[in-house]
């Protein structure tokens, strides 16, 4: 049944293109900034306690990211389907897709929670850490696993609101989550009145409490406006709908796994550089932290492109969807190029914030100046990937990333760094070459327009 969108904040399938882009982009940028500061606060507070806690936080964060990949995949499939339905004015279908996504995410989270508790000792032992760090990691892991269900619901519900163009809701939720998490880190670790002093475990508790609060806030948002019928019984799984969500989501999950596994292999290549490996590993760690500044607007535009392309395809207006995709992409290139130019010019100053070791400072500076050459292509690839995913072309984006990482970056990095003995510089060059090719391939994929013909119904 088609229902007029009377209670949606704005129709993203009509009106000024730049106005639509701005409406979707600035809230997503703020959400990315919130997430950035939460991660920074976790490491910062852990640094006050000791390197063992920092190591544990870093290790568990990597494991938790792998577990969350499934939630991210469900959210991508959900966003593609809900945005299409909203763009078509079929709110009944949008609600049913949202309901099925939430049911599916809850079931997956429960299964992973059970598996996490059963395998917790094995997972922690696999780190190879000394016993004292294993104990800290184990305590972190068990608390994070308890919060897995709320986190899954939070991620998927935020995707539902984004798909409908209701950016104010996830913006308010994530602002609250971030404030609770950051304040909780300090209050629970050090025991600021009236909170108890919990030591390092307070970092995990603050994170768990914040996402749980965020989940409840989003569930309350579902009571209002057009989403209220989601709570109507019966709550049953619809196999055909789950199949669609999984069909769109699994390539996104595989993409993230392939990227992270490739990053681990890249670290392994740097580790084969003998005495130069320590400097190289420290430099890439510092460089990636600085590059995170660039990724914030890039991924905000990525998510804006996904919603705008999806809704306009749902409204049977593929040409408008294409125009929006290109405008967002070129906006991203302009913004990212400006930031990259600033970092390129003052690379040494940026690097000095993270190290005072002469060799690491020199290599981090070199890393930044070489990698800044690829940032415009990174912007193209990331933003257009969002548009392709919003259209349901998740397999296309998956193959572009896999080709760029596993068939270009890693073989070229090994060849230049180890065989040709260019060391870390060879790896940096391989990163630039692969990112440039990735951006061009993603641009070609979007330009061909196959995504305009994908049917998600």
CA atoms within a 13 Å half-sphere pointing along the CA-CB vector of 171 = 13
Asked if residue 61 belongs to a domain, the reply is yes
Highest mean pLDDT among 17-21, 34-38, 109-113: 109-113
The pLDDT of 373-394, averaged and rounded, is 94
Are the beta carbons of 134 and 127 closer than 8 angstroms? yes
Would you call 17 helix, strand, or coil by DSSP? helix
Domain boundary among 187, 208, 237: 237
Do residues 321 and 226 share a domain?
Answer: no
The pLDDT of 411-423, averaged and rounded, is 95
What does the pLDDT look like over 80-95, one tens digit per residue? Answer: 999 999 888 888 899 9
Would you call 357 helix, strand, or coil by DSSP? coil
Q: Which two tokens stand for residue 98?
A: 């949202």
Do residues 294 and 195 share a domain?
Answer: no
Provide the number of structural domains found in the chain. 2
Do residues 49 and 89 share a domain?
Answer: yes
Q: Given this model, what pLDDT does residue 13 score?
A: 74
What does the pLDDT look like over 258-267, one tens digit per residue? Answer: 988 888 888 8
Cα 92 to the center of its chain, rounded Å: 29
Do residues 223 and 140 share a domain?
Answer: yes
Asked if residue 176 belongs to a domain, the reply is yes
Domain hosting residue 287, numbered range: 250-453
pTM metric for this prediction: 0.83
Q: Given this model, what pLDDT does residue 3 score?
A: 43
Please spell the DSSP secondary structure of 375-435, one letter per residue.
HHHHHHHHHHHHHHHHTT-HHHHHHHHHIIIIIIIHHHHHIIIIIS--THHHHHHHHHHHH
The pLDDT of 129-156, averaged and rounded, is 84
Q: Which two tokens stand for residue 244?
A: 């669609």
What residues contact residue 88 under an 8 Å CB cut-off, 6+ apart? 2, 314, 315, 316
Share of the chain above pLDDT 90, in %: 50
Helices (H), 50-147: 51-87, 91-125, 131-146
Do residues 219 and 263 share a domain?
Answer: no
Q: Which two tokens stand for residue 234?
A: 């019966």
Do residues 339 and 233 share a domain?
Answer: no
Do residues 206 and 163 share a domain?
Answer: yes
Helices (H), 222-317: 239-270, 277-314
Would you call 47 helix, strand, or coil by DSSP? helix
């Amino acid at each position: 049944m088609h229902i007029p969108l009377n209670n949606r904040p704005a129709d993203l399938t009509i009106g000024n293109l730049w106005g639509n882009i701005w409406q979707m982009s600035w809230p997503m940028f703020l959400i990315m900034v919130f997430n950035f500061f939460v991660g920074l606060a976790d490491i910062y507070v852990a640094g006050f306690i000791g390197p063992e806690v920092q190591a544990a936080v870093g290790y568990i964060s990597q494991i938790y990211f792998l577990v969350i990949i499934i939630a991210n995949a469900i959210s991508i499939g959900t966003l593609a389907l809900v945005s299409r339905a909203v763009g078509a004015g079929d709110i009944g279908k949008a609600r049913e897709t949202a309901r099925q996504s939430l049911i599916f995410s809850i079931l997956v989270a429960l299964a992973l929670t059970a598996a996490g508790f059963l395998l917790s000792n094995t997972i922690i032992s696999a780190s190879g850490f000394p016993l004292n760090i294993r104990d800290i990691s184990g305590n972190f892991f068990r608390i994070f696993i308890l919060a897995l269900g709320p986190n899954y619901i939070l991620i998927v519900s935020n995707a539902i609101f984004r798909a409908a163009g209701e950016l104010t809701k996830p913006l308010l939720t994530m602002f609250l989550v971030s404030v609770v998490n950051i304040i909780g880190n300090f209050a629970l670790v050090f025991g600021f009145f009236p909170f108890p002093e919990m030591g390092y475990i307070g970092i995990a508790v603050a994170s768990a409490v914040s996402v749980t609060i965020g989940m409840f806030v989003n569930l309350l948002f579902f009571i209002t406006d057009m989403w209220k019928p989601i709570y109507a019984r019966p709550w049953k799984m619809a196999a055909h709908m789950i199949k669609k969500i999984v069909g769109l989501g699994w390539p996104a999950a595989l993409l993230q796994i392939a990227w992270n596994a490739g990053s681990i292999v890249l670290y392994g290549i740097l580790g084969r550089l003998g005495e130069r490996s320590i400097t190289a590993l420290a430099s890439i760690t510092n460089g990636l932290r600085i590059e995170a500044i660039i990724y914030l607007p890039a991924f905000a535009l990525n998510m804006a492109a996904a919603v705008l392309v999806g809704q306009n395809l749902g409204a049977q207006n593929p040409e408008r969807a294409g125009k929006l995709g290109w405008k967002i992409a070129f906006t991203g290139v302009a913004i990212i190029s400006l930031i990259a130019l600033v970092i390129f010019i003052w690379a040494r100053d940026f690097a000095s914030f993270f190290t005072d070791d002469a060799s690491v400072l020199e290599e981090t500076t070199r890393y930044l100046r070489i990698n800044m050459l690829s940032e415009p292509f990174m912007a193209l690839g990331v933003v257009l990937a969002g548009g392709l995913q919003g259209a349901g072309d998740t397999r296309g984006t998956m193959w572009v990333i896999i080709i760029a990482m596993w068939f270009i970056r890693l073989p070229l990095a090994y060849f230049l760094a180890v065989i040709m003995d260019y060391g870390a510089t060879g790896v940096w060059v391989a990163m630039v070459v692969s990112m440039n090719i990735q951006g061009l391939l993603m641009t070609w994929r979007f330009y061909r327009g196959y995504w305009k013909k994908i049917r998600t119904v």
